[in-house]
């Protein structure tokens, strides 16, 4: 697997490795109940955020099961406004391509500007064009309209709705699974 060429740049964003200096901005939105609404976890404590930022800043992306986590920041205004991650899933090989999962979480001030879509396009390009992935999926709460729209803007296809398959925070939730294949990514729009 080629090494991830941190940072990635887009027209408006820089996607870089986490550093200890990101802790306060990360905690500021991860501690909000509205951030945790569609996540498996409750709002995170400062200690949980410290552990995650430390782990993300040292993470390796060298084998199946590993995650590459990127800080999302504006190119013209440095500072964490969210995160995007790529997981190297089980399955596939270097000859036939790998399978991955993508996910994102943005701070409230980073939402509604197209940043998640722009960041996800950059990570998909990295996965397909540099790292040798064949398929990338996104798994989300079926009620998460914001992430659903991002998946659709990325050209991902909705493959399934798994009804009431998660019992989270005292209620049943359904999971939507979206995916995009290398062959679809390469098609001209």
Q: Which residue segments constitute the domains of the chain, with CATH numbers given?
A: 8-185 (3.40.630.30)
Q: How many residues does the chain have?
A: 189
Please report the pLDDT score of residue 186 as a whole number. 78
Please report the pLDDT score of residue 40 as a whole number. 86
pTM for the structure as a whole:
0.94
CA atoms within 13 A on the CB side of 110: 29
HEC string of 40-96 equals CCCCCCHHHHHHHHHHHHHCCCCCCCCEEEEEEEECCEEEEEEEEEEEEEEEEECCC
Please report the pLDDT score of residue 187 as a whole number. 65
Edge to edge, what strands does the sheet with 133-141 contain?
A: 8-9, 13-16, 67-74, 77-93, 97-106, 133-141, 171-181, 157-168
Neighbours of 37 (CB within 10 A): 13
Handedness of CA 141, 28, 33, 167 (dihedral sign): positive
Dig out the tokens for 166 from the structure.
């998660």
Neighbours of 126 (CB within 10 A): 19
pLDDT values of the chain reduced to their tens digit, one per residue, 189 residues: 678 999 999 999 999 999 999 999 999 999 999 999 998 889 999 999 999 999 999 999 999 999 999 999 999 999 999 999 999 999 888 888 999 999 999 999 999 999 999 999 999 999 999 999 999 999 999 999 999 999 999 999 999 999 999 898 889 999 999 999 999 997 655
């Amino acid at each position: 697997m080629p090494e991830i060429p941190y940072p990635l740049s887009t027209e408006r964003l820089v996607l870089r490795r986490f550093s200890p200096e990101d802790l306060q901005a990360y905690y500021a939105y991860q501690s909000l109940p509205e951030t945790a609404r569609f996540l498996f976890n409750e709002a995170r404590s400062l200690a949980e955020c410290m552990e995650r930022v430390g782990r993300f800043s040292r993470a390796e992306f060298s084998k199946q099961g590993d995650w590459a986590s990127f800080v999302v920041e504006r190119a013209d205004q440095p500072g964490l406004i969210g995160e995007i991650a790529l997981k190297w899933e089980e399955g596939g090989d270097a000859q036939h391509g790998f399978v991955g999962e993508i996910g994102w979480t943005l701070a409230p001030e980073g939402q509604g500007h197209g940043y998640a879509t722009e960041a996800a396009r950059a990570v998909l390009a990295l996965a397909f064009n540099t790292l040798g992935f064949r398929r990338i999926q996104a798994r989300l709460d079926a009620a998460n309209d914001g992430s659903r729209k991002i998946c659709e803007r990325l050209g991902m296809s909705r493959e399934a709705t798994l009804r009431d398959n998660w019992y989270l925070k005292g209620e049943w939730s359904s999971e939507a699974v979206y995916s995009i294949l290398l062959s679809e990514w390469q098609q001209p729009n």
